A and B are shown apart, each in its own frame.
Chain A
Amino acid sequence: MSAMRRGVSMRDLLVAHDSAGLTGHHIPSSAQSVRDIALITRVEQILEVGPDSIVLLAEELALGGWVVSVALRYAWERRAVALIVSEQSFSESVIELARRFGVALLTTSDGIDRTALTLARELGALEAGILSRLDALHSRVLRAASIPEVLSEISQELGDAVVQLVVDGIVLESHGTRPAEPVVARLVLSPRDRGHRGQEGQHGQHGQHGQHGPELVAAVAPVQQAFADQALARAGMTVRALLLQQELDDLVGAAPLLSFAALSGLREDGAFDDSRSEQPALRRLPSGTSVAAVVLRVADVDQRSARIAPVVTSRWRETFPRVPLARLQSGWFALVPLAEPAAELDDALQRLADSGLGDLGAAVGVAHDPHGTEQVTSLLRRAGLAARLAEPGGPVLDFRRFGPPLLRRLLPAEDALDLALTTYPALLADPQASEIIATVVSYLDCAGSVTAAAEHLGVHRNTVQLRLRHAATLGVTLSHPERLLSTHLLLSALDLRALPVATRPTAEL
Chain B
Amino acid sequence: MIRRLNAADVGHLCTGAMFVACTIDHESSKQYRDMTLALIELKGGGPVLAPVGSLDPAAMTTSIGFVNQGLMFSEMIPVGDEFETAIALLQERLGVPLQGVFPLAAASVNAMVAVSVALRTGLPLVDADPMGRVFPLVSQTTLALAGLSAGPIALTGPTGETAVVDVFAPARAERIVRALASELGGWAATASYPVTAAQLGAHGVVGSITRLIEIGQILDSSLHTQQKYVRLTSLLGIRKVIRARVTDVEGLSRPSVPGLPDRPSSATLVDEAQGRIVRLEIQNEILMMIVDGAIQAVMPDVITMVRPEDASVAGLDDLWVGNKLDLITFPAAAQWYTAAGRALVEPMAMNVVGPARGGRAR
Contacts and interface: CB of A to CB of B under 8 A. Distances in A.
B310 interface: no
B293 interface: yes
Nearest to B293: A73
A230 B353 CA distance: 38
B250 A91 contact: yes
Contacts of A71: 293, 353
B99 to A, nearest CB: 45
Interface centre among B270, B294, B356 (most CB of A within 10 A): B356
B344 to A, nearest CB: 19
**Chain B interface bracket (under 10, 10 to 19, 20 to 34, 35 or more):** 20 to 34
A70 B266 contact: no
A36 to B, nearest CB: 14
A78 B247 CA distance: 28
Nearest to A46: B353
B250 A65 contact: yes
Interface residues of A, number: 27
Interface centre among A64, A67, A100 (most CB of B within 10 A): A64
A417 B354 CA distance: 91
A89 B253 CA distance: 13
Given A70-B294, A74-B293, A89-B256, 12 more contacts: A43-B351, A61-B353, A65-B279, A66-B279, A71-B353, A73-B356, A74-B353, A74-B356, A77-B361, A91-B250, A93-B268, A100-B277
A203 B281 CA distance: 44
B266 A65 contact: yes
Contacts of A66: 266, 279, 281, 288, 290, 349
B357 interface: yes
B161 interface: no
Interface centre among B255, B266, B279, B357 (most CB of A within 10 A): B279
Interface in A42-92: 43, 46, 51, 61, 63-67, 69-74, 76-79, 89, 91-92
Contacts of A64: 266, 281, 349
A96 interface: yes
B277 A61 contact: no
A66 B265 CA distance: 11
Nearest to A60: B352
B260 to A, nearest CB: 14
Contacts of A65: 250, 266, 279
A93 B358 CA distance: 19
A69 B353 CA distance: 11
A97 B276 CA distance: 9
Nearest to B358: A77
B346 interface: no
Nearest to A73: B293
19 contacts: A61-B353, A63-B348, A63-B349, A64-B281, A65-B266, A67-B353, A70-B293, A70-B295, A70-B353, A71-B293, A73-B294, A74-B293, A77-B356, A77-B360, A79-B361, A91-B248, A91-B250, A93-B248, A96-B277
B242 to A, nearest CB: 15
A96 B247 CA distance: 12
Contacts of B248: 91-93
A101 interface: yes
A73 B288 CA distance: 15
B95 interface: no
Nearest to B295: A70
Contacts of B44: none
Nearest to B354: A43
A261 B191 CA distance: 114
The B contact surface, by secondary structure, is mixed
B250 A78 contact: no
A129 B255 CA distance: 44
A43 B353 contact: yes
Contacts of A97: 277, 292-293
Interface in B237-253: 247-248, 250
B247 A79 contact: no
Interface string B318-362: 000000000000000000000000000000110111101111110
Contacts of B293: 69-74, 76, 97, 101
B286 to A, nearest CB: 12
A4 B344 CA distance: 45
Nearest to A43: B352
Nearest 4 pairs of A and B residues by beta carbon:
A73-B293, A93-B268, A69-B293, A91-B248
Given A73-B293, A93-B268, A63 B279 contact: no
Contacts of A67: 349, 352-353
Contacts of B359: 77
Given A64-B281, A96-B277, A91 B268 contact: yes
A67 B354 CA distance: 11
Interface centre among A43, A64, A70 (most CB of B within 10 A): A70
A65 B266 CA distance: 8
A78 B354 CA distance: 14
A100 B290 contact: no
Nearest to B350: A43
Interface string A191-206: 0000000000000000
Contacts of B295: 70
B171 to A, nearest CB: 23
A69 B352 contact: no
Contacts of B360: 76-77, 79
A165 B359 CA distance: 40
A64 B354 CA distance: 15
Contacts of B288: 66
B281 A70 contact: no
Interface string A380-408: 00000000000000000000000000000
A69 B279 contact: yes
A46 B357 CA distance: 12
Contacts of A79: 360-361
Interface centre among A63, A77, A79 (most CB of B within 10 A): A77
Interface string A268-306: 000000000000000000000000000000000000000
B280 to A, nearest CB: 9
A97 B293 CA distance: 8
Given A93-B279, A96-B277, A69 B250 contact: no
Contacts of A77: 356-361
Interface in B118-143: none
Contacts of A74: 293, 353, 356
A96 B288 CA distance: 20
Nearest to A96: B277
A89 B279 CA distance: 16
Contacts of B352: 43, 61, 63, 67
A76 B362 CA distance: 11
Contacts of B348: 63
B165 to A, nearest CB: 33
A69 B256 CA distance: 19
A63 B250 CA distance: 15
Contact of B277 (A43, A46, A78, A93): A93
A212 B247 CA distance: 55
A93 B349 contact: no
Contacts of B270: 93
Contacts of A69: 277, 279, 290, 293
A342 B250 CA distance: 86
Contacts of B279: 65-66, 69, 93
A76 to B, nearest CB: 6
Contacts of A46: 353
Nearest to A72: B293
A99 B353 CA distance: 22
Contacts of B292: 73, 97, 100
Contacts of B277: 69, 93, 96-97, 100
Contacts of B357: 77
Nearest to B247: A93
